[in-house]
Structure 1
């Protein structure tokens, strides 16, 4: 068994072992976010609770080139292909600890990391024939980035990840940690199922992968990053990523003066649509199943697809030791662990598939809603007030 296969199996087995914009602005496909190639500055249109949902930004509909053929692009990002989208609202920032806490207080929801893992959820991510462990091994917990004391080979990510019993959204690093003072940080240690539950409660949904990329680009057609083509313009950091020029080599964490982890939402400048942290800080769940070849399939359509919702099932032949049809959802945006030597997924077109039941210390989400959903919510609120 290769080192990479052993690393992947180790991660899963770690669980077993350790365990206008209201009615005046329509979602028009004719509204394009700036000139192609040299976009004008797109002014953010933000909801205020009256002319749009508070805390959300209006993302105009349009046609754009999704994916990338650039030198740094990976096979699963190719080819760049045309997609059409209707307009929608998107959270200006990732859902925060404070916002998720309100949801839990209102509903009593228990996240997947707080529940005993189910063997059927783990089994589908493991090589066929993997024996079922004793139930005593299945304990609530989540994957935690622990780093290393010195430089290591970047082929074996089991060296800097651990399954930590007792880790959950309130205790992202394990039972001894907490989120006191981090109310405005993005909530992490939430699975796809958890994100879906929150979105339903809030009257919203997770973005499709196409919506996510369109919004992240902010009108910058085929730019490498959310803000343009230069990683750090004028030497200024633009996202919470692992900057190897200023900090230690990834994944070394011995210098306590160099913080590793999430930053408050809105720490860095927003993109042209008024969206924060569409690159770095935490990976973000989308609603699509992950297929490594999804873009190649979409590129064959005679007409650019309108509002694509992604493939009907997962397919990933590039993850050794994991069945190619194992369930995976698309995650986007990269995180504080992405660096120029590892991952580089803070690029706008970067994508990956993630086990939907997985909870990790660098994985969060944000939500979207259509104009029709917003108007219906307003109408329902009015009818309740009248009664």
Structure 2
């Protein structure tokens, strides 16, 4: 199963007030970019861990030169975008977004929004500037990745910033950091509850988090060591939207049904896993791992970074 939040249903809009959080675009720290030359590369794996996700088969791709932000888009950068454009996110238009139950204080918390994933709660008034609801704020988390943003929100930001969402193949190529075909951005060493490489879950999901990495939710975008190409957060912290539609590359009947549903509901590919991933439940912080979410969905653990054509 995935640690992605449940997808939104149709007809669920009930707008809330636009954020009053303002930030001058000129005061935001410039995000470094890492350039990748045109090359032949690979995407996927010959040893899928979660076959139903379409992790395989491994295949060769040709990539044009591109650049990728060194880290996820931060709350500070997204706030500058909103201040400059007045943009209203889809979570604001819907009036709610899924929040990980562990991030709430337990007082008056609504019942689960999905019995299959009871750790997700539908919280009214939750959106990027108040990611856990009206009583929360990102003012102390401006260097954390922006969350509660949909695919359309990410695309709108990209258009404003002069970039785009990366393809899945670009994302995987960049995540390998110059290594031939590692399982993780740092190599093949498996993280566990004591060996910390990134912001994922430690303990028994979803009830106990030992916080061995120091974080229950998101962390600053440069909190952990970058990969060999200088990219931060390519595993854990937040899922990252890509520009690709979700598809399982298989001729099986199950894959055809899955792909038809993904097309109908406009599911997009997300990469990298999040702070909720753990090998016992959502082993998706591997480079070849992937997940899917409907384009209008958002959540406590979903963000993005930008790519640029060179």
Query: Normalising by structure 1, what TM-score?
Result: 0.65
Is 1:354 matched up with 2:293?
yes
Cα gap change, 1:256/1:88 in structure 2, threshold over 3 Å: closer, same or farther?
A: closer
Aligned to 1:86: 64
Is 1:107 matched up with 2:85?
yes
Q: Is contact 1:65–1:221 with CA below 8 Å preserved after alignment?
A: no
Q: Could you report, residue by residue, the CA deviation over 1:268-288 in whole angstroms, capped at 9, with x for unpaired residues?
A: 111111100011000000001
Deviation of residue 323 (structure 1)? 6.9
Q: 1:288 aligns with which of 236, 239, 244?
A: 244
Q: Could you report, residue by residue, the CA deviation over 1:37-85 in whole angstroms, capped at 9, with x for unpaired residues?
A: xxxxxxxxxxxxxxxx851111222222210122525240111111111
Aligned to 1:56: 33
Supply the distance in 2 between the matched residues of 1:237 and 1:279 (Cα, whole angstroms): 12
- 56-65 vs 91-100, which moves further: 56-65
- Relative to total residues, which structure has the larger helix share, 1 or 2? 1
Aligned to 1:251: 206
Q: 1:143 aligns with which of 98, 101, 108?
A: 98
- Select the structure of larger CA radius of gyration: 1
Aligned to 1:337: 276
Q: Could you report, residue by residue, the CA deviation over 1:197-227 in whole angstroms, capped at 9, with x for unpaired residues?
A: 1000001111111111111111222211111
- Relative to total residues, which structure has the larger strand share, 1 or 2? 2
Query: Normalising by structure 2, what TM-score?
Result: 0.81
Q: Is contact 2:201–2:211 with CA below 8 Å preserved after alignment?
A: no
Supply the distance in 2 between the matched residues of 1:114 and 1:14 (Cα, whole angstroms): 15
Q: Is contact 1:64–1:221 with CA below 8 Å preserved after alignment?
A: no
Cα gap change, 1:65/1:363 in structure 2, threshold over 3 Å: closer, same or farther?
A: same
Q: Is contact 1:87–1:370 with CA below 8 Å preserved after alignment?
A: yes
Aligned to 1:129: none
Cα gap change, 1:240/1:254 in structure 2, threshold over 3 Å: closer, same or farther?
A: closer
Supply the distance in 2 between the matched residues of 1:95 and 1:287 (Cα, whole angstroms): 15
Q: 2:200 aligns with which of 221, 229, 241?
A: 241
Aligned to 1:43: none
Supply the distance in 2 between the matched residues of 1:206 and 1:223 (Cα, whole angstroms): 23
Deviation of residue 176 (structure 1)? 1.1
Supply the distance in 2 between the matched residues of 1:54 and 1:352 (Cα, whole angstroms): 26
Aligned to 1:207: 166
Gaps of 5+ in 2: 16-29, 107-113
Cα gap change, 1:319/1:206 in structure 2, threshold over 3 Å: closer, same or farther?
A: closer
Q: Is contact 1:66–1:210 with CA below 8 Å preserved after alignment?
A: yes
